[in-house]
Amino acid sequence: MSKVALITGITGQDGSYLADLLLKRGYTVWGMKRRSSSFNTERIDALFANDRQEEDPRFHYFYGDLTDSNNIIKYVQEIQPDEIYNLAAMSHVKVSFDTPEYTGNVDGLGTLRMLEAVRILGLTEKTRIYQASTSELYGKVQEIPQSETTPFYPRSPYGVAKLYAYWMTVNYREAYNMFACNGILFNHESPVRGETFVTRKITRAIANISLGFQSVLSLGNLDAKRDWGHAKDYVEAMYLMLQQDEPEDFVIATGKTTSIRDFVRMAFSEVGIDIAFSGKGVEEIGQIDAIDRAKFEAATGIEANHLSIGQELVKVDPFYFRPTEVELLIGDPTKAKEKLGWVAKHTLPELISEMVACDVERVRKNHYLKTGGFAILNNVEDVI
Ligand code: NAP
Ligand code: F7E
């Protein structure tokens, strides 16, 4: 009998990678999907298409929402999952300052609703639960690097809501003997990362600027540092946590940290552009310092005629500052290595290279669909 998994947040970055991993391991996968007025299944469409070619499709979804207890209870009852991966969340830290109550409802109480559903339905011995906890719990960090024993100090409504969910998960484990784990995951990215998180915003902008569809990239705090890994590696850690003999919480991270400014430099260098930063605070700008024209052409398929030395490509816009910021995150993944045998396989340069290449390809494809050819891109003035 194949194991049955229920994934909330199936349409998100992690949900799509995790569904792929579990299907490949023979699971039947049920995903909770929110009703949306426009299509929101782009990240999982390929999984559906592949699955439908099998005689006995194993990938299903139902409409639901973490704010709706009745819906959660109904489907947990019907699906009787062996494993629940609770990935659904309002996951954008800056947006959580605009929607603190909603964020608390989904990210905090939503987790409680899921834990309660399992308890009320008498599934505490059958169903294992993974809770998507986060390095945002460390916020104003009390220790460097951050491990499972570092005290928490969240710095946003998102972080505070996730703190509630973290402790509810621990409490249900201790009170009801449930197999419930927190994965304290540091930032993880991929070519399907949400478009408004900083890494994807940067790689999309580089593709657009290179192909002549954008003139400048506006960012907020360039000094913040993050421990970035690849989502593909991180969903493997989620799976491993639920295969252990005992439920425990784990930090999942690379152990390296990089500033937003350095990420920008590394990503532009993928298309042969060297960026030099000058100025301070909101006056800081990033200009083209050098262009490797052969590398640019190889990466983009066009000549760099529309770009010149000294051109300003990056600026700071205070709109993207947060009321309280998380300045530095760097995780210590020792426990995950020792107990799960997990280590990050992808390096940051590999991740950046993949993200930039995918976004360049996407922009080229979109343009091709609109115009029926790329020739026009060699005369970029026409299309800006
Ligand atoms: P994501 O791409 O933003 O995906 C979030 C998912 O949650 C989407 O499928 C979204 O549906 C769904 N969702 C949002 N509100 C919901 C609601 N009220 N009811 C049901 N579903 C809802 O996030 P991600 O990067 O994959 O992250 C997955 C989880 O890990 C999240 O809980 C996030 O907070 C946490 N986390 C992420 C990172 C990271 O670096 N990526 C690190 C630590 C923890 P729509 O598609 O309809 O919006
Ligand atoms: O910001 C700075 C920003 O939005 C990273 C979520 O997945 O990871 C994510 O949260 C840093 C911050 O991710 C822009 O101020 C500068 O310091 O990519 P982000 P995040 O806030 O770290 C954690 C682990 C999660 O759990 C969350 O769900 O980059 N930054 N300029 C900017 N950030 C954005 N978004 N946009 C900018 O223009």
| Residues 182-226 pLDDT 10s | 999 999 999 999 999 999 999 999 999 999 999 999 999 999 999
Higher-pLDDT residue of 374 and 12 is 12
Rounded to whole angstroms, how far apart are CA atoms 105 and 97?
Answer: 14
**pLDDT of 51 over the 80 cut:** no
Distance 280 CA to ligand 1 centre (A): 34
DSSP string, 297-356: HHHHSS--TT--TT-EEEEE-GGG--SS---B--B--HHIIIII-----S-HHHHHHHHH
pLDDT digits (tens, 9 = 90+) for 102-140: 999 999 999 999 999 999 999 999 999 999 999 999 999
Using one digit for the tens of pLDDT, what is the confidence trace for 156-169?
999 999 999 999 99
Pocket test for ligand 1, best of 11, 91, 257 (most atoms within 8 A of CB): 91
User: What is the pLDDT, as a whole number, of residue 122?
Assistant: 98
- CA 221 / ligand 2 centre spacing (Å): 10
Measure the CA–CA gap between 91 and 83, rounded to whole angstroms. Answer: 22
Provide mean pLDDT across the span 259-286. 98
What's the mean pLDDT when you consider all of the chain? 95
Written as one letter, the residue type at 269 is: S
pLDDT digits (tens, 9 = 90+) for 268-278: 999 999 999 99
Q: Is the CB of 134 under 6 A from ligand 1?
A: yes
Mutational test site, ligand 2, from 138, 158, 197, max ligand atoms within 8 Å of CB: 197
pLDDT digits (tens, 9 = 90+) for 2-18: 999 999 999 999 999 99
Q: Is 221 left (phi over 0), alpha (psi -120 to 50) or beta?
A: beta
The answer, yes or no, to whether residue 259 has pLDDT greater than 70, is yes
For residue 74, what are the CA distances in angstroms to 34, 64, 85, 114, 327?
A: 15, 10, 17, 11, 42
Produce one character per residue of 343-353: b if its CB has 16 or more CB atoms within 10 Å, e if not. ebebebeebbb
pLDDT at 373 over 80: no
Would you mind telling me the total number of residues written for the chain in this entry? 384
Q: What pLDDT was estimated at residue 372? A: 64
Which residues have C-beta within 8 Å of that of residue 379, sequence separation ≥ 6?
A: none
What's the confidence (pLDDT) of residue 79?
98
Stated pTM of the model: 0.96
The 10 Å Cβ neighbour count of residue 273 is 25
318 lines ligand 1 (CB under 6 A): no
Nearest to 89 by CA among 75, 71, 105: 105
pLDDT at 16: 98
Q: At what angle do helices 198-210 and 348-371 cross, to 10 degrees?
A: 50
Catalytic site residues?
A: 134, 136, 158
Query: What pLDDT is recorded for position 383?
Result: 41
Over residues 265-289, mean pLDDT: 98
